[in-house]
A and B are shown apart, each in its own frame.
Chain A
Amino acid sequence: MSLLLLQEAVSYVPFAAIGAGLAAIGAGIGIGKIGGSAMEAIARQPEMQGKIQSSAIVLIAFVEAVALFAVVVSLIAK
């Protein structure tokens, strides 16, 4: 009986949404680190700006993709 109640309660918790939120936190930290380091690098070597910027964008796309994996999983799990 209590197990059924617990199941009932759990079914109202939006786990998929929580998972997507956690993934967003991770991606935020990752993109922030890349952005911060890129800024620092550009400040040290302004002549390398173009190269640093383009590789930073590619790296950001990689980090973002991991967060989107989580979004897809939470869409499927829902």
Chain B
Amino acid sequence: MKTTKFNIIKNLILGLFFVLASTPSFAIDIANDSKDSEIEEEFNVTDMIMHHVKDAHEFHVMDWKGHAISIPLPIILWTENGLVTFMSSEFQHDDLGNVVVEKNGQNFVKFHEEIYYANDSANEEGSYLTLNTEDHPENSYPMDFSITKLVFSMFFSVILLVFIFGLSARSYHKNGVPKGIAKFTEPLVVFIRDEVAIPNIGEKNYKKFMPFLLSLFFFIWINNMMGLIPFFPFSANLSGNIAFTLVLALITFVITTIVANKEYWKHIFWMPGVPVPMKLFLAPIEFMGIFIKPISLMIRLFANITAGHIIVLSLISLIFIFESIWIAPISIAFSFFISIIEVLVVAIQAYIFTMLSALYIGSAMEEHEH
């Protein structure tokens, strides 16, 4: 009893230390960003935050004496002349369309992390793009299948998950007693089964959906956690990307639609026990509900994670807005506090996404007794 208590306290202190250690490294990152822009213009908070929250073609680690140190990622393009691949380092950290890469007889430039076909000559600002009045390029663009920061991060999380669960599965082979990392994963798996799957889907059908629900929970959770760690192999804002959450919500939607029984459709289009004029009024609303449910799933996860990142980054930006080192203790303390809350929020969001998916699946398979 005493040792477990000690272990909990030890783990808590380790966790706190980890969060505390990671907060200033956000600040270093921003300091590097602001140093670049100081030469030309004032520090722009919105641009800096958007740059950190969005996807990128290279993994920016830090700046050293004005030179960006980053890990290049492969760029894979499907162009008019077929497949073109090269490393993002060939753009030399340029993001304004000034550096042209010639491949396969075609010229490419990168502008705001998008790849475009380059013009034949540069304009007076050195950019090989034609910008319209709203600063959007008018050039045509190839299809971009690049392994970006987010794609890399997703592959990495999948490898991590396979490793963790491979290890935990192996520890059951001998005598069925969990060992090592399985001691950590087993309670979570049991929690998803007993608190999420069985109450929402029902004793009869829940087993079919356990693999889906478990993958959903652990995939979202590990990606949320990886987003909170602000150095190299992590730090991508994957679950704060709406395309990522869209696909997860789409899978839930497809499963719900496929497993739905007759009762479910009846309750949507011709619900029993309701007067006919009311049925005509309610049916379109219920029909829209089919789509609104996954859309709200998608936006909930996206908004929560993006907002978490934005809050931490803007608290640290306070140092650079006030241009005073004396703000640093306050802003570091606040972002430390928010980071701890975020550790809680990312777990809750993964749980809510899984629970609502289970709820929707369960409601589609429900058998009513009238």
Binding site for B on A (CB under 8 A): 57-58, 61-62, 64-65, 68-69, 71-72
Out of A57, A58, A62, A71, which one reaches B303, CB within 8 Å? A71
13 contacts between A and B (CB under 8 A): A58-B348, A58-B355, A61-B304, A61-B345, A61-B349, A65-B299, A65-B304, A68-B307, A69-B303, A71-B307, A72-B303, A72-B306, A72-B307
Distance of A38 from chain B, by nearest CB (Å): 15
B206 is an interface residue with CB less than 8 A from chain A: no
Residues of B within 8 A of A64 (CB): 304
B300 is an interface residue with CB less than 8 A from chain A: yes
CB pair A61 B299 closer than 8 Å: no
Distance of B293 from chain A, by nearest CB (Å): 14
Residue of A nearest to B53 (CB): A75
Distance of B25 from chain A, by nearest CB (Å): 25
| A-B pair number, CB within 8 angstroms | 30
B352 is an interface residue with CB less than 8 A from chain A: yes
Residue of B nearest to A68 (CB): B303
Give the size range of B's interface with the partner. 10 to 19
- Majority SS of interface residues in chain B? helix
CB pair A62 B352 closer than 8 Å: yes
**Given the contacts A68-B307, A71-B307, A58 and B351 also touching, CB distance less than 8 Å:** yes
Out of A58, A62, A72, which one reaches B302, CB within 8 Å? A72
CB pair A58 B352 closer than 8 Å: yes
Residues of B within 8 A of A68 (CB): 300, 303-304, 307
Residues of A within 8 A of B352 (CB): 58, 61-62
Produce 1/0 per residue, B332-352, CB < 8 A to A.
000000000000010011011
CB pair A72 B348 closer than 8 Å: no
Out of B300, B307, B348, which one reaches A57, CB within 8 Å? B348
Residues of B within 8 A of A58 (CB): 348, 351-352, 355
| 10 additional contacts (CB under 8 A) given A69-B299, A69-B300, A69-B303 | A58-B351, A58-B352, A61-B304, A61-B348, A64-B304, A65-B299, A65-B300, A68-B304, A72-B302, A72-B303
